[in-house]
Structure 1
């Protein structure tokens, strides 16, 4: 791309119709402007202006170049404005894709806080399962992905990992609510509400119950974390979720999360990811800081 000063000089001479007037507007000497125009003509090996007694007139080549110059200058000024907006957080967007329980809990809380501080930043939050999170981040449809047990992928960069062991989720008045720890066998005799087969934790909890010699016949099954939370909050049913899934409910006193004791239970890891080598804009970086605050509590 041509040097910015050359572009400005060419544009101003064309507007003013003379080197002297252009120099006055640019606050430089006429000699400097003329030298730059001559250098540009020499560099491009084409005459850009006709030198007439009453001033300067663009040639056909000059007209073509000027069209390009003005488009370039407009684009550069728009970029400068956008970058300034980013610096002052007057604009921009954050695109996040996550899982349904996280979206309606911790993520929603983080978004609310972020939006009160940066009201002009647009926030987009999509909900899907593991393959959808990976695809959206890798293909650039989302800036960030937040989900459990995301697969290793050379195109993903992990920003943070959080241990998220599954626990028994019960109402505050539930007989097991005061326990510090529970074994899967302690849940026998209570209605169970479990994730269905489409969710990774279905197999984890199923295997834990079978190891405890419990019949795997849950009264309630769903792929909605919200549904599981509400059923648990309503009475004696026990849901099995991570502490992150119920963090806001626990903070509000609606639910209790009791860790499960089962050495054989596979790890459950919450991961915040982005596309490898992606250069994040300031709104996304600021949102990551806000979200980390909620995930670290």
Structure 2
């Protein structure tokens, strides 16, 4: 079973069936007080709703958890801070990347489970780098149940481009690696299949094609793709197949550096569909959220691999 947030409502996904039930929507943060709401985690054991709001012109994040009957507020970040990516970590904990909005200073916080030390500590900026809150101003994170943590963002110490910081299980200090040819790239996603295989995706400036860097046995390298538009969302299924949504609303799937575009059907009003998000629920079982070209319809698309 899984869950999706579409048009401000929680939809439950069971096999090929999508249903709306009032129960999973009880207590869901809604209304003008919240700028955005997103759902993360695994339903129903570690399901969270992340709501962003602005109080007295200062941005903050409120975290809700599903207690089995309704959504309940668990915590609020300090003013001018926000929760970014988070996921299931080791020792049955959930770890989150926290970011100060004004300075970009990153940190990590255990938001579920026992807050045992240590948690990863981002590398400090060099003393001569004025205005740098950290060596890398992390915007995205990939958290693994093995205890490994990766985070990526602007390489403030270098003055240009992006970098990834990797922490081994139980380590406070990580290792920083610059991402190749990442000057001016807007980072959108960081995906880790395991501690030695990861991908960073984004939107490159000008007429450059989609940005995709891959981490392998020899470190990080630029990976060429046929996608001419920037990547706004990158995700992976349990078998390591990648799914990408581009800025132009296309859907692509790739494995072993081989990519293919996934054709999308027409909407019920016969207009074209632009993808907004993708969710690889399981290998061969992927869901896409999209909008019709005229913006009148929001659609949910499903692809299932048939065996035999």
Give the TM-score taking structure 1 as reference length. Answer: 0.21
- Structure label with greater radius of gyration: 1
- Structure with the larger helix share: 1
Give the TM-score taking structure 2 as reference length. Answer: 0.21
Structure scoring higher RCO (CA < 8 A, sep ≥ 6) equals 1
